[in-house]
Amino acid sequence: MRKVQVRRPSFPQVPFNQSLGSPPGARFNVVCGDEGHWRSGMYTPPETSAAQLEELERHDCPELFLLVKGRLTLVVADGARTREIELHSGEPVLVTAPHSGYCPDGPGTGTAFVVERDSFETEYQRVQEWTSGNNDAPR
């Protein structure tokens, strides 16, 4: 297992009251935030199936996903197994379990808008470690 700490401010300075854009090609691109409260970004995974996911991540706070375009499926640890949550336009999903995602129609073909805290800790482990029953996976 590895841990990563994100501390505020954890987002770029941006101009107000105009389009912020989002550079293509990154798995997660932090767009903006409100220091001490939240940050948001665009999530576009390159994987195309759950079998390609090597590890899952779990934050010490909830993370909100909202599908923006294409198709994107989240994979979450649920006890001794994983389950898939297909994102649907206009239906936010609040995630607390270890998770990752993939785009079933090809690398980078789906994008979700993500909102998370400005300061948090993330645990990363291989999928098999989260589902071995020793990690209290769902939160």
**Nearest residue to 42 via CA among 114, 104, 110:** 114
Residue 103 has pLDDT above 70, yes or no: yes
**Nearest residue to 43 via CA among 12, 67, 20:** 67
Residue 108 has pLDDT above 70, yes or no: yes
Are 50 and 85 in contact by the 8 Å Cβ rule? The answer is: no
In order of start, what are the domains of the chain with their CATH numbers? 2-6+24-130 (2.60.120.10)
Q: What is the pLDDT of residues 44-92, one digit of tens each?
A: 999 999 999 999 999 999 999 999 999 999 999 999 999 999 999 999 9
Higher-confidence position of 14 and 39:
39
- Model's pTM, two decimal places? 0.87
